[in-house]
């Protein structure tokens, strides 16, 4: 209403107020700044109010001279400095200005108007006291927001605030010298030090490179006497004299051809121009002289034409060199005549009637071809060769010596000539039979072994026998081959009682089991072996395995402990060659040879392995072989420092070497092995279950459906093809085999269309896993030690059967049920609550009729070492031994394991006095127990060591057990790492690694807890190489509220990171030293207020000679890294469609220049952020059929938070339909709301959605609006 009245009072133009931008710029006069406004439409009416804040850096010393402000139209609106004046906050100064107006501009200032998109200066203010470089701008930042000082303007009483369109600019002495110091003295042409001892007259050049002149070989800086230039060595026999790399003047000898440095020296080869001579050489007088080449090609040789030779052919004679130097002889024939006719291949007679086609062979033997069994000379049917005797029951048929075709009988195993013939012995695999033989049908059949052990005997279970007891009758062999009869009175004297021979009893001996009455009514049990098995073979004295690879000949001792003999240094179990005993290291110069802890035989040398008399570097002691890939280095008997290869698990001498098997922890791979880089890598198991197979998702297969095409394995290894009509009958529709569907069964998940268009899901098991194995009826664990045979029931409850007093799961021997205590004088025997079988005696155990001292009730055995004393079935008062922890019947007995509370001991056991004691553990014998040994087999952190690098000094072991020193001569690059801690400093560590990331160069941390907000500074000593910085937080929550900054010696940032990461923060690429001068211009450095739109640009500072610039935008925590080349100094980040810049994320930007076809190194880093309204992320609108409304989703991408759907310009409707579809077109969410019209926000909870891409469709009346939502 008020706005309408104001518009009426101001005239008809009051209804179209423009949006107004504001900016700050250098003034027309020196040391002044001016405020400009820029409306997007013309305006002449009331500027109701205006507020803005100017910010500049405190270090500049500058102030605003507010007493001398010049205003554009004070009568229309008067700009006044804020009453709280100039404010210092966090290194910046702020001055806020306010204005209020009630008069129209055109009236207050005659003819005054604001034109559309034209800047208008509204205020100019002088800058005073600027002793440095001041950076000015109008800002909305955390200070202005907290103090209600953000930019704001209202026209005709309406808020028309738009953007601050200016960029920060500098005033004052803002020139940077070559070290990046503003106003510094390091200018081009001034002296510097390039750090190179081989140069002098060092100065800064025009590109701010410190360049010196090379000191020549005569010691003159910039002199011409450089290596490779001419000099005079004073020797007349040399020429081409030049300075060498060591500045020696060296000439080349003049050879026989007069060439300085030539190869034609006396004694060297030459060519006398005569093809018939060889071995031509220059003689002492520089004459080239050769020797005659004979027929063997030997210069000066005797093999001349006409002389005897040997043509190397044993079949010729009279050999001589002919005129052409060919050695030629006459062929010797098979009868020994040179030139005779009896040559190989001609006919002869071998005198054997069994051969034909006789000829001289190559060895001059007269050989004929054997006439075979079919009468063919040279035929293949010879004795011993295969034939066919025409009998199917034989095999391996061959011609015998008499040319008969004879085969071997095929036995019952199918072997021709085998021994497994009917009637011969075999093994039917049945331990209850004997005399097994092959029958006529080749079945292996045995005779049952009877109860007397006779195969085929008659003493079978159920047949009569004699138990030797004259008082028994009906003696028969029982199922266990015990001969048992029935007694008139049973073994307990009960007429017709059940305690018959062969039935169960209790012999009262806890060391036996399976007790039964024998034929003489003795209750006899089988000895319980050391594994608790009645009748088992694991008895004292028999073999066992103590699980200790260092022992052998393991046997059960009298106390059923499996004990082995120590394997000595010679590999002999129980042998005497133990560590500490004498041996012979084979070195005659050593004495006192003994086996050390690692079974190396080492002696003491008069001079140690380093040549020091009586020194400590003796064989067997630690050394450093200088190989980072070995550990446990020791001097051997020959004083070689030898280490064991460190395997892929970091164990020196370990078996996990490249090429050996490992487990990559990925159930989807097989044939896992360690590769050359010690990565455990497996081959992908394909859809057919073959590791390394080719049947991978996306490759061709055959789904067995003739109506489908393009069959491929999908991501779940289903072979699916495309149907002309999909599974819902839609031509070309999306419901193809392998795509998601809903089978309508809440008990299944992962529903997909199969090849036959059935919508089939996997059963959700009792643990909620679709396709999981935990189905009703399968085994589980109910967590109750008193039950067994646990299984999932029909309601997915894990239920077990109670273990009864006999140890049987589901058994009937439960407390309160009947049993037999073995005492004939007791009655009403039952299992008690402790599973003791106890009965009631007529007279109790103290002889009192009906007394309470019944079996199973408490008593006192008078032994202080026992507790829980009770009367047993025989009225013995028996207690349980009180263990070393004071528990009656407890397991903590002398000789059993315990924990003495000392981390430095192992093998803790209770001794006879119940003291828990262990053995001091020091595997590497360095005097420090294993639990406290931070660096096994090496000095502890902080102690001196030798890193094996002759270029370092002051080597010490760091906190990571790495021996590292300080480079000799100092470092070329000194960096600082500032870490602002959170309250959990002990979780924070860092590492500088080499370019590959494999080798740790420097490291630091952890730090103290409780120092939130404190910044610790680490100084790093590096060189001009490339490195990687890794910051770790083992709490997995980053550095809350903190972060870190890496800078060079000139305070230029390399990485500027906040603390928002989880376990590890590291840039995806390495950084290289030193930094170049390339950078962003100051006004675009540390811009975290940029908007994600195509009008946003960033600018590189001009670099002399550059033909382009490469912008590197990266997340310091490693999630994003992209390098983009631009032929100009500017880049539009929003135009990067492929691998786009993340929105609403704190990033870094670095720049390098392309000069002469080569890139410089990257320069200093700046902070950088692209913001979207509400932090909604970079949106991609797929389509929007509405022309007069807007719709947006935020946050988008979404990480499981609620999703806000914002609308503006929407028409009111009775109903608005909102649906969310997955990428398969399946609707996963649907809502209906009433649309109020205008601008409003609707909130949806989509936290249950799986990660992926979704479409959000909105229908209002007949209009559709769609946007994409990314769920991370």
Helices and strands (H, E) in the chain, number of each type: 3, 79
Pick from 281, 276, 361: nearest CA to 325: 276
Q: What is the DSSP code string of 197-255?
A: TTEEEEEE-TTS-EEEEEB-TTS-BT-S--TTSB---S-TTEEEEEE-TTS-EEEEEB-
Residue 964: the pLDDT is: 66
| 1225 pLDDT higher than 60 | yes
Cis amide prior to 553 (ω within 30 degrees):
no
| 15 pLDDT higher than 60 | no
CB proximity list for 446: less than 8 A, separation 6 or greater = 428, 430, 433, 434, 435, 436, 437, 455
Strands 316-321 and 916-920: unpaired
Which among 385-394, 486-495, 679-688, 1043-1052 has the top mean pLDDT? Answer: 1043-1052
Pick from 409, 408, 356, 403: nearest CA to 384: 403
Residue 101: the pLDDT is: 85
Residue 710: the pLDDT is: 86
| 111 pLDDT higher than 70 | yes
Q: What does the pLDDT average to over 187-216? A: 88
Strands 630-635 and 1166-1171: unpaired
pLDDT band per the 50, 70, 90 thresholds, residue 34: very high
Query: How far apart, in whole angstroms, are the C-alpha atoms of residue 1262 and residue 414?
Result: 84
Q: Cα 723 to the chain's mean position, in Å? A: 41
The mean-pLDDT minimum among 644-648, 1041-1045, 1101-1105, 1196-1200 falls in 1196-1200
Q: What does the pLDDT average to over 1039-1053? A: 95
Pick from 242, 210, 52, 247: nearest CA to 141: 52
| 1239 pLDDT higher than 80 | no
| 464 pLDDT higher than 60 | yes
Q: What does the pLDDT average to over 108-130? A: 91
Share of the chain above pLDDT 70, in %: 94
Residue 1185: the pLDDT is: 31
Residue 920: the pLDDT is: 84
Name the token pair of 851. Answer: 């007394």
| 205 pLDDT higher than 70 | yes
pLDDT digits (tens, 9 = 90+) for 339-372: 777 788 888 888 888 888 888 888 888 888 888 8
Pick from 1035, 1072, 1032, 1078: nearest CA to 1055: 1072
Q: 366 near 352, Cβ under 8 Å?
A: no
Q: What does the pLDDT average to over 1165-1180? A: 71
Residue 987: the pLDDT is: 94
Residue 90: the pLDDT is: 93
| 950 pLDDT higher than 70 | no
The residue among 425 and 340 whose pLDDT is bigger is 425
Strands 551-556 and 562-566: antiparallel
| 332 pLDDT higher than 70 | yes
Q: What does the pLDDT average to over 534-541? A: 86
Q: 958 near 964, Cβ under 8 Å?
A: yes
| 1165 pLDDT higher than 90 | yes
SS3 12: helix
pLDDT digits (tens, 9 = 90+) for 247-292: 889 888 888 888 888 888 888 989 988 888 888 888 888 889 888 8
Angle, alpha carbons 925-926-932 (nearest 5°): 105
Q: What is the DSSP code string of 754-792?
A: -TTS-EEEEEB-TTS-BT-S--TTSB---S-TTEEEEEE
pLDDT band per the 50, 70, 90 thresholds, residue 1237: low
The mean-pLDDT minimum among 86-95, 879-888, 1180-1189 falls in 1180-1189
Residue 966 exposed, middle or buried by CB count within 10 Å (0-12, 13-18, 19+) = middle
Residue 137: the pLDDT is: 96
Residue 1261: the pLDDT is: 63
Q: Per the confidence metrics, is the pTM higher than 0.75?
A: no
pLDDT band per the 50, 70, 90 thresholds, residue 1181: very low
pLDDT digits (tens, 9 = 90+) for 752-801: 988 889 999 999 999 999 888 899 989 999 999 899 899 999 899 999 99
Share of the chain above pLDDT 90, in %: 27
Residue 1179: the pLDDT is: 40
Q: Residue 8: enclosing H or E segment and its boundaries?
A: helix 2-10
Residue 209: the pLDDT is: 87
**Domains of the chain: residue spans and CATH:** 2-172 (2.60.40.680), 225-252 (no CATH), 473-527 (no CATH), 646-679 (no CATH), 685-775 (no CATH), 952-1175 (2.60.40.10), 1183-1271 (2.60.40.10)
Pick from 158, 154, 44, 27: nearest CA to 99: 154
The mean-pLDDT minimum among 44-48, 497-501, 523-527, 1167-1171 falls in 497-501
pLDDT digits (tens, 9 = 90+) for 1027-1037: 999 999 999 99
Helices (DSSP H) in 375-480: which residue ranges? none
- Neighbour count for residue 422 (Cβ, 10 Å): 13
811 to 818, 820, 1112: CA distances (angstroms)? 13, 16, 74
SS3 271: coil
799 to 764, 770, 803, 1025: CA distances (angstroms)? 19, 22, 13, 65
Beta bridge partners of 1027: 994, 1071
Averaged pLDDT of the chain? 85
Residue 1180: the pLDDT is: 35
| 936 pLDDT higher than 80 | no
């Amino acid at each position: 209403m008020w706005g309408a009245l104001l518009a009426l009072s101001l005239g008809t133009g009051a209804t179209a107020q423009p949006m107004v931008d504001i900016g700050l710029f250098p003034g027309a006069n020196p040391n002044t700044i001016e405020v400009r406004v820029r409306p997007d439409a013309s305006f002449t009416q009331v500027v109701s109010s205006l507020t803005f804040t100017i910010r500049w850096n405190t270090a500049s010393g500058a102030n605003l001279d507010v007493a001398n402000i010049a205003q554009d139209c004070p009568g229309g609106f008067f700009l006044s400095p804020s009453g709280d004046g100039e404010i210092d906050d966090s290194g910046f100064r702020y001055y806020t200005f306010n204005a209020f107006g009630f008069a129209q501009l055109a009236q207050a200032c005659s003819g005054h108007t604001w034109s559309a998109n034209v800047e208008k200066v509204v205020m100019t203010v002088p800058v005073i006291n600027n002793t440095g470089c001041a950076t000015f701008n109008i800002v909305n930042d955390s200070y202005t927001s907290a103090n209600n000082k953000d930019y704001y303007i209202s026209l005709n009483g309406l808020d028309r605030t738009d953007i601050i369109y200016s960029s920060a600019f500098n005033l004052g002495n803002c020139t940077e010298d070559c070290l990046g110091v503003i106003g510094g003295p390091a200018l081009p042409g001034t002296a510097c030090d390039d750090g190179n001892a081989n140069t002098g007259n060092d100065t800064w050049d025009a590109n701010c490179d410190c360049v010196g002149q090379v000191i020549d070989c005569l010691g003159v800086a910039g002199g011409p006497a450089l290596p490779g230039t001419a000099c005079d060595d004073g020797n007349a026999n040399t020429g081409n004299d030049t300075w060498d790399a060591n500045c020696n003047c060296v000439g080349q000898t003049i050879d026989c051809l007069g060439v300085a440095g030539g190869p034609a020296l006396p004694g060297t080869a030459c060519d006398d121009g005569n093809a018939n001579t060889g071995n031509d050489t220059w003689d002492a007088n520089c004459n080239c002289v050769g020797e005659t080449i004979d027929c063997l090609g030997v210069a000066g040789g005797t093999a001349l034409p006409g002389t005897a030779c040997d043509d190397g052919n044993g079949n010729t004679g009279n050999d001589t060199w002919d005129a052409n130097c060919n050695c030629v002889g006459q062929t010797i024939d098979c009868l020994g005549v040179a030139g005779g006719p009896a040559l190989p291949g001609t006919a002869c007679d071998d005198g054997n009637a069994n051969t034909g086609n006789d000829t001289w062979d190559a060895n001059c033997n007269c050989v004929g071809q054997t006439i075979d069994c079919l009468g063919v000379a040279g035929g293949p049917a010879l004795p011993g060769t295969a034939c066919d005797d025409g009998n199917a029951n034989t095999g391996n048929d061959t011609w015998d010596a008499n040319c008969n075709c004879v085969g071997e009988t095929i036995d019952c195993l199918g072997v021709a000539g085998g021994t497994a013939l009917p009637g011969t012995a075999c093994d039917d695999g049945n331990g209850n039979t004997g005399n097994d033989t092959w029958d006529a049908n080749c079945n292996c059949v045995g005779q049952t072994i009877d109860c007397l052990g006779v195969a085929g005997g008659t003493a079978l279970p159920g047949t009569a026998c004699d138990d030797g007891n004259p008082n028994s009758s009906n003696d028969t062999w029982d199922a266990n081959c015990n001969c048992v009869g029935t007694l008139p009175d049973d073994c307990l004297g009960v007429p017709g009682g059940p305690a018959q021979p062969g039935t169960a009893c209790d012999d009262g001996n806890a060391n036996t089991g399976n007790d039964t009455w024998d034929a003489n009514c003795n209750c006899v049990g089988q000895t319980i072996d050391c594994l608790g098995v009645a009748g088992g073979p694991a008895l004292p004295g028999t073999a066992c395995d103590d699980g200790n690879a260092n022992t052998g000949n393991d046997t059960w001792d009298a106390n059923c402990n499996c004990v082995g003999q120590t394997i000595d240094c010679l590999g002999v179990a129980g042998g005497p060659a133990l560590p500490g005993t004498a041996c012979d290291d084979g070195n005659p110069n050593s004495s006192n040879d003994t086996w050390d802890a690692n079974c190396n035989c080492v002696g003491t040398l008069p001079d140690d392995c380093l040549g020091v008399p009586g020194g400590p570097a003796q064989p067997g002691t630690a050394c450093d072989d200088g190989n980072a890939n070995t550990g446990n280095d020791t001097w051997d008997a020959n004083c070689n420092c030898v280490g064991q290869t460190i395997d892929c698990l970091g164990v020196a001498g370990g078996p996990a070497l490249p090429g050996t098997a490992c487990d990559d922890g990925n159930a989807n791979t097989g044939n896992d092995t360690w590769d050359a880089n010690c990565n455990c890598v497996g081959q992908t198991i394909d859809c057919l279950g073959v590791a390394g197979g080719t049947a991978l998702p996306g490759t061709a297969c055959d789904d067995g459906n003739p109506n489908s095409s393009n069959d491929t394995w999908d991501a779940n290894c289903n072979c699916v093809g495309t149907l002309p009509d999909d599974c819902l009958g839609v031509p070309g529709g999306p419901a193809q085999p392998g795509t998601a569907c809903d089978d309508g069964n809440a008990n299944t998940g992962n529903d997909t269309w199969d090849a036959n268009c059935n919508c089939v899901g996997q059963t959700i098991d009792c643990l909620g896993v679709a396709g999981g194995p935990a189905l009703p009826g399968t085994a589980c664990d109910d967590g109750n030690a008193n039950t067994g045979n646990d299984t999932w029931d029909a309601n997915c409850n894990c239920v077990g059967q109670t273990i009864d007093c006999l140890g049987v799961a589901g058994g009937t021997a439960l407390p309160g049920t009947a049993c037999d205590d073995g005492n004939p004088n007791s009655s009403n025997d039952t299992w008690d609550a402790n599973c003791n079988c106890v009965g009631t005696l007529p007279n109790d155990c103290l002889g009192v009729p009906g007394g309470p001292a019944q079996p199973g009730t408490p008593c006192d055995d008078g032994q202080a070492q026992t507790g829980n004393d009770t009367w047993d079935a025989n009225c013995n008062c028996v207690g349980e031994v009180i263990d070393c922890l004071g528990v009656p019947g407890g397991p903590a007995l002398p000789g059993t394991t315990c924990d003495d509370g000392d981390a430095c001991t192992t093998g803790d056991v209770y001794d006879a006095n119940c003291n828990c004691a262990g053995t001091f553990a020091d595997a590497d014998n360095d005097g420090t127990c294993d639990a406290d040994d931070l660096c096994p087999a090496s000095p502890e952190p902080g102690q001196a060591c030798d890193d094996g690098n002759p270029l370092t000094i002051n080597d010490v072991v760091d906190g990571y057990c790495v021996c590292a020193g300080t480079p000799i001569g100092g470092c070329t690059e000194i960096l600082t790492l500032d870490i602002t801690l959170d309250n959990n400093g002990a979780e924070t560590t860092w590492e500088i690694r080499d370019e590959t990331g494999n080798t740790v160069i420097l490291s630091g941390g952890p730090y103290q807890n409780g120092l939130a907000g404190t910044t610790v500074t680490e100084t790093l000593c590096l060189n001009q190489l490339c490195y990687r910085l890794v910051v770790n937080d083992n709490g997995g929550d980053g550095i809350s509220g903190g972060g870190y900054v890496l800078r060079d010696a000139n305070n230029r940032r390399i990485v500027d990171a906040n603390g928002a990461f989880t376990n590890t923060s590291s840039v995806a690429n390495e950084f290289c030293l030193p930094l170049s001068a390339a950078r962003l211009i100051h006004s675009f450095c540390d811009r975290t207020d940029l908007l994600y739109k195509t009008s946003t640009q960033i600018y590189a500072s001009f670099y002399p000679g550059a033909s382009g610039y490469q912008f590197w935008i990266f997340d310091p925590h490693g999630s994003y890294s992209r390098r983009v080349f631009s032929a100009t100094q500017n880049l539009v980040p929003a135009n990067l469609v492929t691998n786009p810049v993340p929105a609403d994320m704190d990033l870094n930007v670095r720049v390098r220049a392309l000069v002469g076809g080569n890139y410089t190194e990257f320069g200093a880093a700046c902070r950088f952020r692209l913001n979207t309204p509400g932090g909604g992320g970079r949106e991609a609108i797929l389509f929007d059929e509405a022309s007069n409304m807007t719709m947006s989703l935020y946050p988008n991408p979404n990480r499981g938070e609620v999703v806000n759907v914002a609308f503006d310009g929407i028409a009111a409707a009775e109903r608005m339909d909102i649906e969310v579809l997955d990428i398969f077109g399946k609707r996963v969410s649907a809502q209906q709301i009433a649309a109020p019209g205008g601008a409003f926000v609707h909130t949806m909870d989509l936290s249950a959605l799986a990660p992926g891409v979704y479409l959000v469709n909105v229908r209002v009346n007949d209009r559709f609006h769609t946007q994409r939502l990314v769920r991370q």
